[in-house]
Structure 1
Amino acid sequence: MTRILGIHGVRNYKAADTTPAIGSKRLRTDWLEALGSSVPGIELETAYYADLLRSERQGDELDDDVVVLVEQWARAWGVEPSGLQGRATGWVRWICGQVAHRSGQRPAVVEKTVRMFFPEVARYFTDGRTGVRERVKAAMLRHQPEIVVAHSLGSVVAYEVLHELADELDVRLLLTLGSPLALPHAVFPRLDPAPRDGKGTKPAGVRRWVNVADVGDFVAIPKGHLARVFPGVEELPEISIAPAWPHGVLDYLRHRSVSGAIAAGTGPG
């Protein structure tokens, strides 16, 4: 049996997840169902931290920390938002409309991505990092994974924790899905350890790192840039997991390129 640890991304909190163990069990069930019979012989566990980043706030107004990240994300798409007034619905929709025009995607899909992703990213980088990393670190030490599969913001957490545990783990494969690690200004320069000379580093305890991104995934930008700023990363060809919503982890896990990469990682080390 090959030990795999899954690390989720944003918007994974459910009211029924009254404890991290319950949340982890729910995620494990969902991930196993998505993988189906495509990857036999695995022992999957999931690290759960969604409760640490959820917000009780409602409404259209964005926190200042979120505004900064959205502006930086927009600039990565070549959209300059600095002259816009306000930080509510109209501001977000104008930016998302401009990105949608450049990418050929529907504005509603882009806006959904922005509203679900950046608030949790902002909370992670402001006051959530320590708690989230401790939760994921404990799961890694407990499960001793041979493969780590990390989606979205989870790839940022995995990157940082694997660096911290470089002398304590031997990970055969790190598989990142829809990763924002290379996102300039918004994510890349905030990483720990910090990039040096414009480059990140593959964690020493990871033998192989493979990255997969949907062609329409607005979180995984700039396209093809991750391998350029993280030497040693293998980029699989861009895929299309679900045109209507190109960032969902379950759709990634169902895709043959992803299940194939996991299956290849379960072979003799």
Structure 2
Amino acid sequence: MTRVVLVHGIAQELKGADTLLADWYPALCDGLALADGVGVARQEVAMAFYGDLFRPSGHRALGLPELDASDVQDGLERDLLLQWWESASAYETRVAGSDATARVRTPYLVQRALDALSHSSFFAGLSEHLMISSARQVRRYFSEPEIRAAVQDRLARQVTVRTEVIVAHSLGSVIAYEALCARPDWPDLTLVTLGSPLAVRGVVFDRLAPPPTGGLARWPIPVKAWINVADRGDAVALVKRLAPSFGGRVADVTVHNGARAHDVRPYLTARETGQAIGRALKGR
């Protein structure tokens, strides 16, 4: 019965499929209603939940050691935090920018990034531990094959012959893209990506499977239409347009999400998102 499959992003490990669906489904319906009135029943919507795969197992101590700047690993974790910082400072006046020119790893530079990001709209209220954990989830997805396979399997379990659209937010767009590329036998469907980091060179784009060739990523065969929605101030979606990296068939759309540019709920309530999903539901 699943017509719409939703795929969440980072930092959802303490939630669950029903918890997220209770939050996403009303926003999804609001966007559809604002667009053209197309409706979808809750039993026709599924959440591809994988957050528990990043949740630490039980521990005898009173808690796990808190992560700080000295725990940030060189490579993807560090580069991602610094890119988030650079992007957030470009769009938010309350986020201090970096005047550092050296790219060498120092806890001081990472600490400055964490301090600055704590004032950004997306990371406001999150501890250093959670910000580092968010970057670590991205690093683990790309560097641990068993995690990558298990996450994609969670999505594959939700896709049926009746699925008409996959709506993927943040890291979820990476998961959806790779799963669609790996399964050319899936039914034709529409892909809607929200706040996607897919085109970010160095940290995401160059790590995709299958790997891009000549600066262009492969088109996922089951996708008959791809609409990418981004807010100009979204610090996680560092590159707002996917068409130059994934082909001219991607329709890049800009929306305004207010203060919380990366939050999935204003993405879902946007008329443009509702129109994209509504067209997919009408088209079958």
Please tell me the TM-score bracket, short chain as reference.
Answer: 0.7 to 0.9
Query: Does residue 25 of structure 1 match 2:18?
Result: yes
Query: Does residue 86 of structure 1 match 2:107?
Result: yes
Is contact 1:181–1:188 with CA below 8 Å preserved after alignment? yes
1:99-138 equivalences under 5 Å are 107-109=119-121, 112=124, 115=132, 117-127=134-144, 128-138=147-157
TM-score where L is the length of structure 1: 0.81
CA RMSD, Structure 1 to Structure 2 (Å): 2.8
* Inter-CA distance 247–110: structure 2 relative to 1 (3 Å threshold): closer
Structure 2 unaligned segments of length 5 or more: list them. Answer: 57-63, 91-97
Give the Cα–Cα distance (whole angstroms) in 2 for the partners of residues 54 and 121 of structure 1. Answer: 14
1:1-269 equivalences under 5 Å are 3-14=3-14, 17=15, 23-36=16-29, 38=33, 39-42=38-41, 43-54=44-55, 58-61=66-69, 62-64=71-73, 65-71=76-82, 80=101, 82-83=103-104, 85-86=106-107, 90-93=111-114, 96=116, 107-109=119-121, 112=124, 115=132, 117-127=134-144, 128-140=147-159, 142=160, 144-171=162-189, 173-224=190-241, 226-231=242-247, 232-236=249-253, 238-243=254-259, 245-269=260-284
Is contact 1:47–1:136 with CA below 8 Å preserved after alignment? yes
AA paired with 2:167? V
Aligned to 1:103: none
Deviations 1:195-215 (A, max 9, x none): 010001221111000000011
Deviation at residue 165 of structure 1 after TM alignment: 1.2
Deviation at residue 133 of structure 1 after TM alignment: 1.3
Give the Cα–Cα distance (whole angstroms) in 1 for the partners of residues 135 and 214 of structure 2. Answer: 26
SS of residue paired to 1:175:
strand
Aligned to 1:102: none
Is contact 2:228–2:250 with CA below 8 Å preserved after alignment? yes
Deviations 1:14-53 (A, max 9, x none): 2xx5xxxxx2222222221112352413521110000112
TM-score where L is the length of structure 2: 0.77
* Inter-CA distance 32–109: structure 2 relative to 1 (3 Å threshold): closer
Structure 1 unaligned segments of length 5 or more: list them. Answer: 18-22, 98-105
Give the Cα–Cα distance (whole angstroms) in 1 for the partners of residues 222 and 83 of structure 2. Answer: 31
Is contact 1:74–1:81 with CA below 8 Å preserved after alignment? no
Percentage of matched positions with identical amino acids: 33
AA paired with 1:59? L
Give the Cα–Cα distance (whole angstroms) in 2 for the partners of residues 263 and 155 of structure 1. Answer: 19
Is contact 2:11–2:133 with CA below 8 Å preserved after alignment? yes
Is contact 2:67–2:132 with CA below 8 Å preserved after alignment? no
Is contact 1:52–1:132 with CA below 8 Å preserved after alignment? yes
SS of residue paired to 2:46:
strand
- Shift >4 Å, 4+ stretches: 71-81, 110-116
Deviation at residue 135 of structure 1 after TM alignment: 1.6
Deviation at residue 143 of structure 1 after TM alignment: 6.6
Give the Cα–Cα distance (whole angstroms) in 1 for the partners of residues 261 and 133 of structure 2. Answer: 13
